[in-house]
């Protein structure tokens, strides 16, 4: 146990030799999950609306130091290193990368772990974490989600505020989901013009990203309605 922790700390600092033996993913992931189970804050943020979490735990120095991206593959390679960067180095990107690794490598009965990590990324000011936690709440099929017991109108209002916040931080998927809120009238009165603005913003942010691919058919539908003289 002590060796595994030391290895991860050195990995965070970039001091592990390139040929050093790396911890097996399954063992490291299991240890991360045990640590999360023993830390009450993860359960607490799991039950909070992401809009109310956004940036609340962001360290004061984070705006001065870029939170560089941490890939899914990096966290599959060394889950403990990513967890330490998330929990100790206060990196929302590391929380997000580890959440994605858990999401890709575990069955839905472990979903609370990646949902908690998305929430923690959100709390650290990483907008994509807010979007993904919100999407998990919206989809509603993850095990042990506290929002399963919340009435739908309250949940939809939470999601509207969440996607509004992440879109406001120029997170492309957040804008596509914000468009969905306006399109379907979830947490807000349906407003096709507002939906179109949100969908367009997703594509303005990243025209080649999946969020724009998702938004594009809605943009074409809504623009077609406007050009045809129909109501937006």
Q: Output the DSSP codes for 180-212.
A: HHHHHTSSS---HHHHHHHHHHHHHH-TTSHHH
Q: Is the pLDDT at 80 greater than 60, yes or no?
A: yes
Rounded Cα distance, 51 and 194, in Å: 19
Q: Is the pLDDT at 153 greater than 60, yes or no?
A: yes
Write down the pLDDT at residue 226: 61
Stretch 84-88: mean pLDDT, rounded? 96
Q: Is the pLDDT at 217 greater than 80, yes or no?
A: yes
Rounded Cα distance, 188 and 156, in Å: 8
What confidence tens digit (pLDDT) does each residue in 6-51 have?
434 434 444 444 444 555 899 999 999 999 999 999 999 999 999 9
Write down the pLDDT at residue 106: 94
């Amino acid at each position: 146990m002590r060796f595994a922790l030391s290895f991860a700390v050195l990995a965070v600092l970039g001091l592990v030799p390139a040929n050093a033996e790396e911890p097996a993913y399954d063992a490291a992931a299991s240890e991360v999950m045990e640590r999360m189970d023993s830390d009450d804050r993860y359960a607490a943020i799991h039950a909070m609306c992401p809009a109310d979490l956004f940036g609340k735990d962001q360290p004061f120095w984070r705006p001065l130091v870029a939170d560089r991206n941490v890939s899914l593959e990096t966290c599959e390679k060394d889950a403990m290193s990513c967890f330490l960067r998330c929990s100790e180095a206060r990196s929302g990107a590391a929380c997000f990368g580890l959440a994605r690794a858990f999401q890709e490598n575990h069955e839905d009965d472990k979903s609370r772990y990646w949902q908690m990590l998305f929430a923690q990324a959100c709390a650290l000011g990483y907008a994509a974490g807010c979007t993904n936690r919100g999407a998990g709440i919206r989809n509603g099929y993850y095990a042990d989600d506290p929002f399963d017991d919340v009435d739908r109108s309250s949940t939809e209002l939470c999601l509207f505020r969440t996607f509004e916040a992440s879109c406001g931080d120029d997170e492309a998927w957040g804008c596509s989901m914000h468009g969905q809120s306006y399109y379907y009238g979830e947490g807000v009165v349906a407003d096709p013009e507002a939906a179109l603005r949100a969908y367009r913003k997703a594509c303005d942010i990243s025209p080649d990203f999946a969020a724009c691919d998702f938004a594009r058919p809605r943009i074409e539908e809504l623009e077609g309605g406007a050009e045809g003289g129909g109501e937006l």
